[in-house]
């Protein structure tokens, strides 16, 4: 399938006419909802805050490239190549959180549901607890190599840092030695399953690697033609949807063995590679963006598709749902963006 030709459109439901186009103008690297405002994070310097009516206000957050973002729905935390960690709220207020002493790049940030913030620069991971405290009270830990990804476990104050040859699980408030989950290769992204039972990394090579946390059993999830850069847990955490192939790859995590020994489902195959995925926060639906600019909404149960955006433009860079699941925001690499109210 190379294009949605007029003739072919009859076969797929379309909501393209309901999309509110937005001209963000600059490349977008991620989108997060802060309440009802969508924060389109630029590749450098600024964030465009967009309300449901499509009104855009721009906020300067960094003095250079914005390298990483994390959000809990009310606060957006970012790290930049200016060595700063900053937070942005829905009102557009920017709060500086930290400045790396050596002005190293802040490569990763993570946010805990209780408000704790983690970030990393080079090999060093930092955690600031929700109880505030100043710079002096930040906990730090040096990982064996540069941190490729950071994530908080959904329960307890536990940080997973992905790096070369595995993941370090660190309890910043405990003196115990961190736990090390080993797997050869470079691990770049990391995510806990919402039930806290599994840990999954996206590797430099086109594969995911997973561990069952109870017994550190390995789960190899390979077969991708390209590197996985976007991962999203379905509502309820039964599935992990990923980019990296010419279809959305959906790994089953409902059983106690996770995807061990199981095949993933492949939804919404197109002749372009999936570049971004975002699962709906309440229903078993996901949005998938492709390298050719296409965006589809896909029902997990049967793979039924609805067209949100036609192909024929820059790759989809980011997708996000608001917390209620009534708004889908998207942006392409060239800054063309849109909001879809449902």
Question: What is the pattern of x (binds other proteins, CB under 8 A) and - over residues 50-89?
Answer: --------------xxxx-------------x--------
- Residue among 129, 186, 313, 326 that touches other proteins (CB under 8 A): 186
Establish if 145 lies at the interface with other proteins (CB under 8 A): yes
Q: Are 54 and 340 in contact (CB under 8 A)?
A: no
Residues 208-237 that bind other proteins (CB under 8 A): 226-227
Report the relative pairing of strands 13-14 and 305-309 from DSSP bridges.
parallel
Establish if 313 lies at the interface with other proteins (CB under 8 A): no
Question: Coil, strand or helix: which one is 164?
Answer: strand
CA torsion angle for 255, 260, 261, 267 (degrees, to 10)?
Answer: 80
User: Rounded to whole angstroms, how far apart are CA atoms 285 and 299?
Assistant: 5
Q: Are 69 and 109 in contact (CB under 8 A)?
A: yes
Q: Which of 331, 340, 339, 338 is nearest to 28 (CA)?
A: 331
Question: Coil, strand or helix: which one is 235?
Answer: helix
User: Rounded to whole angstroms, how far apart are CA atoms 124 and 66?
Assistant: 19
Q: What's the min distance (Å) between Cβ of 253 and other proteins?
A: 23
Establish if 184 lies at the interface with other proteins (CB under 8 A): yes
What is the layout of strands, in order, in the sheet containing 149-152? 149-152, 159-170, 179-192, 198-203, 207-212, 217-222
Number of residues that bind other proteins (CB under 8 A): 29
> Considering beta carbons, is residue 164 or 180 the nearer one to other proteins?
164
Q: Which of 164, 116, 173, 121 is nearest to 142 (CA)?
A: 121
Residues 3-22 that bind other proteins (CB under 8 A): none
Residues 153-182 that bind other proteins (CB under 8 A): 164-165
Establish if 115 lies at the interface with other proteins (CB under 8 A): no
Establish if 282 lies at the interface with other proteins (CB under 8 A): no
Establish if 141 lies at the interface with other proteins (CB under 8 A): no
Establish if 43 lies at the interface with other proteins (CB under 8 A): yes
> Considering beta carbons, is residue 148 or 237 the nearer one to other proteins?
148
Contacts with other proteins by CB under 8 A lie at 27, 29, 43-44, 64-67, 81, 102, 104-105, 107, 122-123, 145-146, 148, 164-165, 184-186, 203-205, 207, 226-227
């Amino acid at each position: 399938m190379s294009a949605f030709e007029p003739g072919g459109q009859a076969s797929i439901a379309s909501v393209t006419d309901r999309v509110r186009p937005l001209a963000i103008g600059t490349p977008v690297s991620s989108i997060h909802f802060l309440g009802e405002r969508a924060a389109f994070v630029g590749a450098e310097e600024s964030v465009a805050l967009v309300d449901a009516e499509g009104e855009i206000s721009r906020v300067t957050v960094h003095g250079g490239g914005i390298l990483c973002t994390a959000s809990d729905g009310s606060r957006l935390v970012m790290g930049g190549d200016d060595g700063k960690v900053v937070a942005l709220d829905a009102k557009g207020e920017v709060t500086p959180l930290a400045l790396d002493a050596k002005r190293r790049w802040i490569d990763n940030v993570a946010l805990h549901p209780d408000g704790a913030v983690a970030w990393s620069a080079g090999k060093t991971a930092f955690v600031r607890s929700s109880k505030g405290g100043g710079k002096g009270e930040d906990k730090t830990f040096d990982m064996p190599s540069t941190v490729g990804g950071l994530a908080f476990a959904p329960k307890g104050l536990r940080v997973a840092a992905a790096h070369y040859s595995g993941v370090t699980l660190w309890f910043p408030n405990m003196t115990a030695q961190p736990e090390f989950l080993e797997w050869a290769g470079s691990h770049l992204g990391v995510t806990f399953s919402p039930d806290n039972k599994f840990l999954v990394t996206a590797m430099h090579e086109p594969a995911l690697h997973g561990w069952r946390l109870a017994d550190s059993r390995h789960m190899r999830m390979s077969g991708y033609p390209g590197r996985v850069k976007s991962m999203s847990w379905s509502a309820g955490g039964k599935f992990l949807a990923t980019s990296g192939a010419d279809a959305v790859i959906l790994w089953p995590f409902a059983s106690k063995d996770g995807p061990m020994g199981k095949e993933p489902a492949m939804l919404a195959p197109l002749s372009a590679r999936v570049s971004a995925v975002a699962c709906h926060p309440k229903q078993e639906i996901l949005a998938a963006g492709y390298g050719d600019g296409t965006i589809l909404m896909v029902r997990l149960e049967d793979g039924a598709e609805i067209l949100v955006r036609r192909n024929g433009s820059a790759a989809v860079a980011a997708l996000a749902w608001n917390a209620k699941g009534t708004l889908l925001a998207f942006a392409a690499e060239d800054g063309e963006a849109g909001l879809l109210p449902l």
